[in-house]
A and B are shown apart, each in its own frame.
Chain A
Amino acid sequence: MLAQLGELKRLAVVPAYNEEASVGRVIDEIRAFDPGFDIVVVDDGSIDRTAGVAADRGAHVVRLPFNLGIGGAVQTGYRYAFEHGYDLAAQIDGDGQHDPGQLPKILAPLLAGTADLVVGSRFAEGGSAYRSSTTRRIGIKIFAGIVSAVVRQRVTDTTSGFRAVNRKGIALFAADYPHDYPEVEATVMSVKHKLRLQEVPVEMRERSGGRSSITALRSVYYMAKVLLAIFVGLFRRYAVPVEEEHR
């Protein structure tokens, strides 16, 4: 099943929390890549002009009444995609670290029908040399090892939020999405629900605005929470999502 991008109803989900400096450029770049992409900016309780900037550029803006965290914000985007009948949804951070110019690589496996969830990886062969602290790199390696073992497939970048799903993935994420620090769990959960996962190498940029949501103090909680979630997840039963079930 090889689909043309132009035939599909496609949505870019842009989670943004206090990203007034970068969200406008992200919207422009998505349009420059493909004007046929509808864009929904999920403003996760920002206290700056994020929503205003996005609305001025003509994006659909969903304003959350208070900060839900990245998991709740992203799921809002997938619910929007599900309820408006989109065939394809791409997740692109509002902070500018994901380059919409790389979307062809991420969308290719979905269009070819070989994957249901495609994740852009900074560490797969062909990706950019990514600079980060040693502790962060070790953490990333540990998660990559654990996740690869759990999903029985080589995964190199578990924390990447640059990803895209087809209708099946939209249905799953609209119904169920992890709460905080969701990327690792979302990846594992998708495979457990029998979605086909594929990683593609991408280059990411330095963040152009805002700050990373992960500080040194939170990383301990992050590790514990995600490891616990993966461990407990091993003992859950998973249903294959029904594509048209409305929730």
Chain B
Amino acid sequence: MTPWTVSISAAVASFILLLVVFELIRSRRLRERYALMWLLTGSVLLALSLWRGGLNTIAGWFGVTTYPPAILGAVGALFILVVLLHYSTVISRLSDQNTILAQRLALLEQQLREGASRP
């Protein structure tokens, strides 16, 4: 069984994560679109830290018998991996769009310059 100290610390940490994400959305520093994955991460980790029996069962499925909280770390890592992969796609899209913006701007500037120099 998971030691109580581990369960409580994990629960507190997940709860703080949820609070921070909430405040970031409220103050408009984080868009809902990108917050959903973090909220899901926080909620799952919070649920697994509080639901000690469940954590034990899930650990059993993966053959982890000696130290069930290892599953908390594994689940956390999995979610972070998904968030990172998602960010990679977001960054790729942003850099594509950035290229398009730079090209459009350069073409506009060129048009403006040549328009202005004409008599």
Contacts and interface: CB of A to CB of B under 8 A. Distances in A.
Nearest to A224: B36
Size class of the B contact interface (CB-based, 8 Å): 10 to 19
A229 B100 CA distance: 30
B33 A180 contact: yes
A232 B36 contact: no
A221 B25 contact: no
B100 A228 contact: no
A69 to B, nearest CB: 10
A228 B26 contact: no
B27 to A, nearest CB: 9
Q: Is the interface of B mostly helix, strand, loop or mixed?
A: helix
Contacts of A225: 32-33, 36
A222 to B, nearest CB: 11
Contacts of A179: 31, 33
Interface residues of A, number: 12
Given A179-B31, A235-B26, A228 B36 contact: yes
A246 interface: no
Contacts of B39: 228
Contacts of A131: none
B104 A65 contact: yes
Given A65-B104, A228-B35, 11 more contacts: A65-B97, A66-B96, A66-B97, A179-B33, A180-B33, A224-B36, A228-B39, A232-B22, A232-B26, A235-B26, A236-B26
6 contacts: A65-B97, A179-B31, A225-B32, A232-B26, A232-B32, A235-B26
